[in-house]
Structures are given as structure tokens and as C-alpha cells.
Amino acid sequence: MAESVVTIDRLGAQGDGVADTSAGPLFVPFALPGERVNVARSKDRGEIVALLESSPQRIEPACRHFGDCGGCAIQHLEDAAYRDWKRGKVVEALRARGIDAPVADLVPCAPGSRRRVTYSARRTQAGILLGYHAAMSDRIVDIAEDPITVPAIVERLDDLRRLAGALATGSEPFRLAVTATQSGLDIQATGLPKLTQPVRLAAADLAARAGFARLSLEGDILVEPRKPRVTFGSVTVEPPPGAFLQATAQAEAAMAGLVLGHLGRVKRVADLFSGCGTFALRLAAAAEVHAAESDAAALAALDRGFRSAGGALRRVTTEKRDLFRRPLAAAELDRFDGVVFDPPRAGAEDQSKQIAKSAVPLVAAVSCNPGTLARDLAILTAGGYRLTQVVPIDQFLWSPHVEAVALLEKPRKRR
């Protein structure tokens, strides 16, 4: 590989340093703007061989694995510049769609607050590897610490590694999705070959002895000494294996605060892409809520949570519906005076087109992808909505990902 000295001009979207060279952008992982680095070049990527001049914004990373592990992209940048970069991702995405909206400061999330992580695992001759993939690589970096994640998970890394050992019959990699719930760790293994009954029994026994709340394989519960539980507002919900939960409780509280602040006075709300009821069950303290979602098990958990609340909530109805194929039509939406939608990374293009045509006065858009959020907001603003606030939230600390909540309103038409 050819070596050369470059100066880093800016931070790229993935957290890499970018040198704008005459041959085009050169992406240099772990380099910061203003730094002079000697790099080994391969196409448009440069690997740091020597840091010749270091940025005053460079700090010691929080984790010993940083630089090898691909779980985090940017731990080496001081806090204010880091927050500007994260917020800037939302600002840039909106600007690219021609949207000029007030973007608030980034809402931070503390280290040690991630309650839902997916580790990769693999049996090797040297033992079990459990951790994250190295950047752009199949190699699993075996971790001894994980400073983004809640202690309830990190303190159990050895038990999780033992569990991975019980499940790993071959050398193929697989995943353990681990969620810290109020009743213990909820673990789902995916990507494993079909396991024999003795292997399943041994893994179930190990999980129970370790005190885990539940172990599932590809959605099938293997052992469940306690139902995993989470609370949304005042309502306790028992999420099914693999159901979506916001990655940190802090970010969830910030998102819910914004959504409730915006929709707190409405009487009938549609919660689209509702999951297990993160927003629906909080909103139902004051409004009737219709929750639509494609995951039947998540909706069943939401419904059980609603019923367990007795008379404390207003009416909550659920509808299993593929909102990509069959978004709620404008005429259906018009019976609501508020909508919250929180789609997967692909966003909600067709659903946004229907909301844009509707007369719903208040809309909250929640998204983990600024690019698709900006596209959907452009649809809504073209349909007469005014964007009153966009709030970026650092749900995915030290990664290139950022969550955002956008609040919109449309004046009621005089009849």
C-alpha cells in the first residue's frame, strides 16, 4: 500500500476523518480535522501509520478496545465538537432537502446507559469470542469492557460468554441480542444452525442458573424463569422475544417527553409503528390511542399492558398493519387530532404522503435516520405542515447514528 502524508479537512458522516485530495475524498478512520497523518492508502481509504500533528480536540478514548472494535466510531473527539458533529448530521440532512428548521442542541445520553445491545459471538480454537465486529470486517473483537452499555449487561459478560459457548456447536458466528429489563436480562440468539435437544437443554439450564430472565432462539422461548418487563409511563409491558425497544431509557424518556409535550392536549391519537407501546401507553393517560404496527406479538404485549392498567388509561385500540404497503389513508387519519410515527430506518414515505394530505393538526415524527426523516419531513411540509422544532438525541453514543424528534403542526381548515 502506498504511503502519503495528508491533512484532514473534516469529519465524515461515519466519523472518519476526510482529506479532500485532488483524487477525491480520502477517508481516514480515527483521524480528526486539522490533523496531519501519514497514511497507508488503499483506494479511498487511508489507515493511519503515524499521527504527525494531533488536533487539540483529540481526547483519550473511554474504551480500551476503541480503534480495534468497530462498535464505536468516535470516542477520541472532545465533547463540544462531538455534539456539534452529531447535531450537524441532522442539520445537513434537512438542508439537503431544502428544509430550514430550528434544530435544538443535541440531547446527550450518558455512557453506561445502553440497555439493548447485539453482540456477535463465535467459537474459535482459542475459546469463545464475544463482542462487536471490527470496522468493515468479519473479525469479532472479544471485549472485556463496554462503556456504552448498562452495568446490568456489562457485569454479565462472562456469563454471556459461557452461554455463547453452550450455544456454539460449530465455528460459525452468531448473535446474542441482550436487553436489560426490570426483571433481568432478556437474551435472544440468532444466526445459529439448528441445535440438538441436549444443546438446547444445556443452554437453557445455563441461562436459568445465571439468573437470566429469558433465553430465546430465533423468537422461540427456550427458557423464561421470569417474564422480561419494561415500564412505559405508568404501564408495565412484557415485550415478546426480539421486539423493538428504544436503545436507552434516557433517550426514550427524552423522546416521550417531546411527543407528550406536543400531543399532550389532543383527544385522539394515532401511534404508527407503535412497537410495544412506548408512546401509545404514555399518551393513553390523557387521550384515546390507536396503535398500528406490523409485529403482532408487540401489539399483543401493548394490549396486555393496556388491560393490566385497569381504568387508569383512556381507550387503546391496536391494529396489525403493514404501514409500508397499506399506510393509514388521509381519510382514516382525519378522525385523529394527533399522530406520532416512528418508523424503522427506511422511514415512512408512503405514510407521510397520506399524513400530508390529511387535516391532522399535530404530528410528531420520530426517527433514527436523519436522511429518511428529512425526506419524510419534506413531504409533510409540502403538504402544508409547519416544522416547529427538531430535536436530535444521542441515543447511539459514539456511533455515527443519531435519533431525532420533529414536531409539526397544520392549521385547521375553516369548514
Contact flag: residue 371 with ligand SAM (CB under 6 A) = no
Among 142, 224, 238, 293, which residue interacts with ligand SAM (rule: CB under 6 A)?
Answer: 293
Which CB sits closer to ligand SAM, 121 or 301? 301
Beta-bridge mates of residue 178: 117, 187
Which residue, chain included where needed, has cell 436487553? Answer: 179
Report yes or no: 15 and 73 within 8 Å, Cβ to Cβ: yes
- Interacting stretch for ligand SAM, rule CB under 6 A, among 161-169, 272-280, 308-316, 378-386? 272-280
Contact flag: residue 75 with ligand SAM (CB under 6 A) = no
H or E element that contains 332: helix 330-333
Single-letter residue type at 191: G
Which CB sits closer to ligand SAM, 63 or 323? 323
Grid cell at residue 306 = 393496556
Contact flag: residue 344 with ligand SAM (CB under 6 A) = yes
Contact flag: residue 376 with ligand SAM (CB under 6 A) = no
**69 annotated active-site:** no
Torsion of CA 306, 308, 309, 313, to 10 degrees: 30
Contact flag: residue 323 with ligand SAM (CB under 6 A) = yes
Least CB distance from residue 241 to ligand SAM, whole Å?
13
Count H helices and E strands in the chain, helices first. 10, 22
> How many Å from the N-terminal Cα to the C-terminal Cα in the chain?
70
- State the residue number with the nearest CB to ligand SAM: 275
Among 35, 142, 295, 337, which residue interacts with ligand SAM (rule: CB under 6 A)?
Answer: 295
- Interacting stretch for ligand SAM, rule CB under 6 A, among 144-152, 220-228, 238-246, 397-405? 238-246
Among 49, 133, 244, 288, which residue interacts with ligand SAM (rule: CB under 6 A)?
Answer: 244
Grid cell at residue 263 = 400531543
Which residue, chain included where needed, has cell 492508502? Answer: 41
Contact flag: residue 273 with ligand SAM (CB under 6 A) = yes
Least CB distance from residue 348 to ligand SAM, whole Å?
9
Write the CA distances from 369 to 149, 264, 343, 403, integer angstroms.
21, 25, 9, 7
Least CB distance from residue 118 to ligand SAM, whole Å?
15
Burial 33-62 (b: 16+ CB within 10 A, else e): bbbbbebebeeeebbbeeeeeebebbeebb
H or E element that contains 304: helix 296-308
Contact flag: residue 186 with ligand SAM (CB under 6 A) = no
Among 298, 364, 379, 393, which residue interacts with ligand SAM (rule: CB under 6 A)?
Answer: 298
Among 70, 275, 305, 338, which residue interacts with ligand SAM (rule: CB under 6 A)?
Answer: 275
Which residue, chain included where needed, has cell 404501564? Answer: 235
Could you list the active site residues? 368
Sites of contact with ligand SAM (CB under 6 A): 244-246, 273-275, 278-279, 293-295, 298, 322-324, 342-344
